[in-house]
Amino acid sequence: MKKTIVIMATALALVGCRENPFFAEWDTPYGIPPFEKIKVGDYIPAVEEGIRQQNEEISAIVNCAEAPTFENTVAALDLSGGLLEKVEGVLFNLSETDGTPELQRVVEKVIPMVSQHSSNIYLNSSLFERVQKVYADSEFARESGCEDCGAALSREQQMLLDKVYRAFVANGVALDSLKQDRMRQINSSLASLEQTFGTNLLAENNAFAAEFGISISQYAATMGSCSNRELREKMFRAYSTRGANGGATDNREIIMKILSLRQEKARLLGYDTPAAFILSDKMAGTPEAVDSFLETIITPAVAKAREELVDCRRLWIKTSPTGCFLRGAACSLGTGLIIQSVCVKTNTTSTRLRHVHISRWRMSVRVYSRQPPSSTASASSLLKALRNITRTWKYSVFLTLQTEVFWEYSPPTTILAEQNAEERG
C-alpha cells in the first residue's frame, strides 16, 4: 500500500513539474512550435511570464544611466518581449485557423492582458522621452548632413526609429491624462471586438465548409470551374453574407461598434476620420489622394468590363441551351422594378426580353424572339418561365401581378446588332 502511494505521489510530482514548452528553446526544424507538446493550460502562464519579463526589460531601458542612443533605447525596445511574442504567435494563429472553444476562452482572457500591457508601454512617458531624444538627434543629423556623428543612423535603423516613434504618438502618448485613460479603454475594447469578429468569421467559414465541402480558400477556384448555376448562386450568397445571418456569429453590430471606436480614436489623435489616421504615415498620405488615384483606374476598368460583358453575351446566346440571363439595374420595389434586359429560354422558344417594367399592379414585357411564336402555348411557356425566374429573384409579389406580353420576332443577328449598338451608345 505504501509503495502504491509513493508511486502515485511521484507521478503527480512529475506531472506538476512538467516544463511549459514556451519556456524552453525549440529544437525543431526552422524553429517551428512543437504543437504536439503545447497544451491549452500552457498559454496563460506563458503570457503572464512574458509580460513580467518585458516589464523588466522596459524598466532597464528607462533606468539606464547612459544617454539615450539607438542601441540602448530603440533597439533594446524592439528586442524586448521575446517570450510574449513567442506565445502570441502560436496562440492567435491557432485561434484564428483551428480554434476550439477551450482555446477561445483562453484568448478572451489574454486579450485584455496584452492590450493593457501594450498601452502601458506606449503611454510610458519616461520611455517615450528617451525615444524622442534619439528621434530628435537623428533628425538633427539628417538635416545637418552629419554622417559621421554618433546620431547618424543607417537606413534600416532610421526606418525602425520612425516606426517606433510613430507607434508612441499613434497610441496617444502626447495626450493629457484624461484622454490617455479614454485611449486605454478604446484600445482594450477594439482588441476584444476585433478578436470576436475574427472568431465569428472563423465559425462562419467552418459552416460554409461543412455545407459545401470546400474550404473558404477554395471558393474562388470552385466558382470558376463549377458548371451548376444554382450551386454557384447558393455558394455566392453564403460566401457574401458570412457574418450577416443573425445569431451568435453575426458581425454587423460588432462592425458598427468597431467603426464608432475607430472614429473616436482618430478624433482623439487629431484626425477627421480613421482613414486619415491610417494613411497619415503611408505613401498616399490622405484619403483624397487615394480617391484621386482610384478615379484614374475606374474609367478604363469599366470600359474593359463592358467589352468582356459583350463577349459573355455572345457566348451565352450561341451556346446556352437552357437558363436565363439578367442584365441591368433595379430601382426600389416600392415604386416599381425596372430591368434593362432579360433573356429567357423555354422548351418551345428562345427569347430575349427587353424593356421590362414591373409595378405594384402590372408587369409589361416586350419580347424579341429568335423565332415567331407559333401558338398560344408559346406565350404560355414564356410566362411560366418568367414566373420561375421571379421565384429565383425571391420577390414573391411578382407572382400575383397582372401580366401583359408584347411579342415581336427578331432573329439572332438582329439581337447581336442591338447589343453592339447598346454598348457603343
* The predicted structure's pLDDT at residue 152: 75
**Identity (one letter) of the amino acid at 399?**
L
Residue 8's contacts (CB-CB under 8 Å, 6 or more residues apart) are none
Q: What are the helix (H) ranges across 63-172? A: 76-79, 82-97, 101-122, 125-144, 155-170
Closest CA to 187 of 113, 127, 119, 251: 119
Q: The dihedral of CA 309, 310, 311, 313: what is its sign? A: positive
Separation CA 42–CA 54 (nearest Å)? 18
The whole-angstrom separation of Cα 361 and Cα 401 is 6
d(CA 418, CA 48): 71
Between the alpha carbon of residue 190 and those of residues 39, 169, 198, 308, 379, the distances in Å are 28, 18, 12, 42, 59
Are the beta carbons of 241 and 207 closer than 8 angstroms? no
Query: Virtual CA dihedral for 61, 171, 92, 216, nearest 10 degrees?
Result: -150
The cell numbers describing 358, all together, are 414591373
Q: Is the pTM of this model over 0.85?
A: no
Instruction: Give the distance, in angstroms, between the CA of residue 11 and the centroid of all CA atoms in the same chain.
Output: 48
pLDDT of residue 97: 80
For the chain, report the end-to-end CA distance as a whole number of angstroms.
97
pLDDT at 95: 86
The reported pLDDT for the residue numbered 366 is 45
- pLDDT at residue number 216: 92
Note the pLDDT of residue 326: 36
pLDDT along the chain (425 residues), means of 10: 44 58 93 93 96 97 96 96 96 85 91 94 96 91 67 88 95 95 94 91 92 93 89 92 92 94 95 92 90 89 86 67 36 33 42 42 43 48 53 36 40 49 54
Q: For residue 344, with 0-12 CB atoms within 10 Å meaning exposed, 13-18 middle and 19 or more buried, which class applies?
A: buried
For residue 140, the model assigns a pLDDT of 78
